[in-house]
Each structure stands twice: as structure tokens, then as C-alpha cells.
Amino acid sequence: MRVDAIQNGIVIDHITAGRGMQLYELLGLGELECPVALMMHAVSGKMGSKDIIKIDADIPVDLDVIGYVDPGATVNFIRDGKLIEKRRIEMPKMLTNVIRCRNPRCITSVEQELDHVFRLTDEENKVYRCIYCETKAKV
């Protein structure tokens, strides 16, 4: 399989195999009007297999979403066909409007304009809790 290099855009690399589609959906990449390539289960010497997302446009990407779905992924920023920056992504301490609280009694169920905010409470087990009702959300 061959996917051409991009001139200006972003490459999200080292995504755990099988998580690329979840990132694609949470980042809203299907709504973009630019070339986006999602490769799943690509061969990787380091990981065995991995997913890769290439976005051929200079757009802002929510790094918190990437850190929530797959801490350890890397984001490469490409300008004029050259790598200008490479970031290794970590789990964010707070998430705002990335996931929704599932507790029907949470204030966010009643107050629709309130942000859904989650705090990282257990990094080892990847557990986030709603700041309003403490309901647990696990990656």
C-alpha cells in the first residue's frame, strides 16, 4: 500500500493498532474537505503493527483527544514537505468536551450548556472522573 507524502499537514503516528478509527471519529476528520488517510495495522518494527493518520492540511488538532485515546502516539507537523516538529503525546490531566458523562443524575444531563469536564484520577489504569459527580470514565 502506498500513501504519498504530505506537503503541509499532520501525521499522527505510533497509534496502537485498532485505535485509529476511534481517533478519526473523535477528531471529526470525516468532516474535513481535505485528503485524510487512515492506515490500520501497518507493519511496525517497534510496535509490531500500528495505525497511522495523515492529514494533508494545516489544521488545528486537539492533542488532548489523542492523549486520551492513545498516550504514547506521536504527532508530526509537516511544512513544505519537511518535518518541523515531533511531539510525543501524554495523557491530559483534564478533558473538556471529549467524552460525555453517562450519569443521568449528573448536572451535565440537566444543564445542557455545561462543559463535560473530566479529571485524570488514575493514570496507570487510565481512569477519568467527572468533576461534577465523580462518575468514572475509562479509556
Mark whether 116 and 76 lie in a shared domain.
Answer: no
DSSP assignment of 67-109: HHH-TT-EEEEEETTEEEEEEE----SEEESSS----TTSHHH
Mark whether 132 and 68 lie in a shared domain.
Answer: no
128 in a structural domain = yes
Q: What is the CATH number of the domain that holds 108?
A: 2.30.30.20
pTM for the predicted model, two decimal places: 0.84
Neighbours of 18 (CB within 10 A): 13
pLDDT tens, the chain, 139 aa long: 566 788 899 999 999 999 999 999 999 999 999 999 999 998 888 888 999 999 999 889 999 999 999 999 999 999 998 999 999 999 999 999 999 999 999 999 889 899 999 999 999 999 999 999 999 987 6
